[in-house]
Structure 1
Amino acid sequence: MNAKTVKLLCQQLHLPGLQSGFETQSTSASYLDMPFDDRLVALLQAQLNFQQNNRQATLKRQAKLRFPSTYLEQIEQKFYPELKMPTLRQLAKCDWIRAHQHVLLIGPTGTGKTTLACAFANEAIQQQIPVLFFRMANLLLQLVAARNENTLNKLARKIARAPLLVLDDWGNALMSSEERHLFFELIEARDQQGSLMITSQYPVTTWHETFQDATIADSVLDRIVHKSHQLTLNGESIRKQQGLSGGEHDH
């Protein structure tokens, strides 16, 4: 069987990774003396890598992260003195997502909450875990708009498919009656089914005020707070420390 036939078969079977691996083997002398089984494993691994990379790129587009190019290895410890590297490494394994737990990132403006949230989200995406990122205010607007347009079920299904939902800037505005009921339904539907990563300028003890309804607040927060890992960020604004007027560390 010649190389042209192999290339054609790979195209017909939609195996571009395997085709690329075969072309590499065909032009590299290092594969000439390699046993057939080893060459086959290398070809299958090339196809798997292609599929995983393609899947990862798709998940990244779908996530719509605010800072899509931020990764944990880029995080400078000096800007996060309260955070311990063993804690970050443990959370980076994403076992908390598989256990349907949550992460709360609390701290003043400028302490890097959003940057850290996007870095954790990228760790999940690298492990083939779907993620969705929303500014909290925008999510509430989308829920209300979806209800008015009779597309709420479609939006709810989209959100439900993401094991990790990132909610940025929790608590910046009070919820209306419609917003808090829609948000309660979303949280209830995800209870024991998905994880949240929440960033907020406000301590958890003040979150009740956002709902303007003690009963709903208790119900929502009971589903979140008691199953969460809380990371508190303090200190000066990272933007100020870097001497910048803007950048990816504004939250």
Structure 2
Amino acid sequence: MPCGYRGRIRGFVDVHSHVVPSGDDGAATVQEGIELCQIAFDAGTRVLFATPHAHAAWDTFPRTSGRVDIFERAFPRVRDAVAEWGLDLRRGWEVYPSLLTDGPVDLDTYRLEGTRAVLVEFPGWWLRIDDAVELVAAAARRVEEAGLVPLLAHPERCRAVADDPTSVRPLAEAGWPLCLNGPSLTGDHGTTAERIAWRLLDDGVVSLVASDAHGFGRPPRVDTAYATVEAAVGREAATPLFDGSAVPWLA
């Protein structure tokens, strides 16, 4: 697939996965990464972004030079192997918002390859963060000021959004795409995430859905979520959430 891809393809585009070794809680070996990519391909994904965690320094998986080295050594091996089947594997990072607000940062190092997007995560439900939505908004503004587009990952898993689902509407109205985790829509992230995911979808603030795959127990599949959404809202409404048309591709 050329770097300048725009529009829809015959298959799914998954912007969020941990299928390449990086020293985080995703794939542990190159072989595991290849096998996870096979699952994605067999389930209909044709473009898959490997997005290791770039946590804050105080959290579990900060972006260190050692982790970057692991990822950069593993990525081409996985990419080249899966390209033989026709899977387009691309680089990216899943960035904790404070990394983008606490001092200078080279945003291009976090960008999803071939796009103008930076994947910024909402703090998960297990983190008690004051003003979590505003923290994400501040990071999104920083990305936008750099001429890039913030893609905002798994809002439905954020405690503050669960408390007030309307809090993310201003972010969506600012033109910042919100990306749900597919497992949230099918109940695999628990009842709260499922309820909030469907609420955000019903509110019309969601732009796309990704797998956020972490391993064989949480594989890189979006086909099940697609089938669930299609059954609920119809193919015309479901397809743009999964086909890559919401991604800000490079011209």
How does the TM-score come out when normalised to structure 1?
0.34
Max radius of gyration: which structure? 1
How does the TM-score come out when normalised to structure 2?
0.34
